[in-house]
Amino acid sequence: MVTGQETQTQGGRGRTRGRPRSFDRATALEKALMAFWEHGYEATSVSDLTRIMGIGAPSLYAAFGDKRTLFDEVVRVYSGTHGDFGDRALAEEPTARAAVERMLREAAARYTDPDHPHGCLIVHAATNCTSPEVEAQLRERRNANIAALESRIRADVVAGLLPAGTDAAALARHAGAMIQGMSQQARDGARREELEALAEIAMSIWPHE
């Protein structure tokens, strides 16, 4: 949101009220997101952020709080934009199998997209992180994703769409491990088609009713 000067007219003259923000907050936030995505939480310093966002430290603190608070907002934005494909697949696909297959294929495409850093911010940002709170935050999000998969798989077992003996927890963790592993392989230079081949192999082990 670009803000301009807010004025009120009094006796035919304009009077400035408040201090205008000299930068676009959404644009600055997206730049911070890209920095954390590329370098991780620990390696991205406040001075890096001010340089990349194009603002001074006082403006950063006034608009976003400290580095940790900014990172919390970045994670929320990422989860609702670049990283939303898993939630959408679970919500839109008719079965757990179809949802996971879609997740893996979209991960292959998104994690190798040249328009932004490779891999997944939720996976990569915790690398070499010395902040227990940040580690816990990202771990909880990853575990929540696996729990959502497990819940969907269990529902399909009850509905008869998967065999009664299916180990829902193991199958969900397998899918989670594949997605997280694809993130790291994308960071290491794997191409989209190579990750899509992994997705095919991963789906070949899924049980059939």
In this prediction, residue 21 has a pLDDT band, given cuts at 50, 70 and 90, of low
Task: Answer for the pair 106, 89: CB distance below 8 angstroms, yes or no.
Answer: yes
- CB atoms < 10 A from the CB of 12, how many? 5
Query: Per-residue pLDDT averaged across 49-63, rounded?
Result: 93
Q: What percentage of the chain has pLDDT greater than the value 90? A: 82
Beta bridge partners of 14: 9
Instruction: Answer for the pair 108, 196: CB distance below 8 angstroms, yes or no.
Output: yes
Calculate the average pLDDT of the chain.
89
Amino acid identity, position 193: E
The pLDDT score that the predictor gives to residue 129 is 81
**pLDDT tops 80 at residue 18:** no
**Phi, psi for residue 128 in degrees, rounded to 5:** 55, 30
Say if residues 131 and 41 touch (Cβ distance below 8 Å): yes
**Number of helical (H) and strand (E) elements in the chain, helices listed first:** 10, 2
Q: Show the CA angle centred on residue 138, arms to residues 133 and 142, nearest 5°.
A: 145
Three-state DSSP class for residue 182: helix
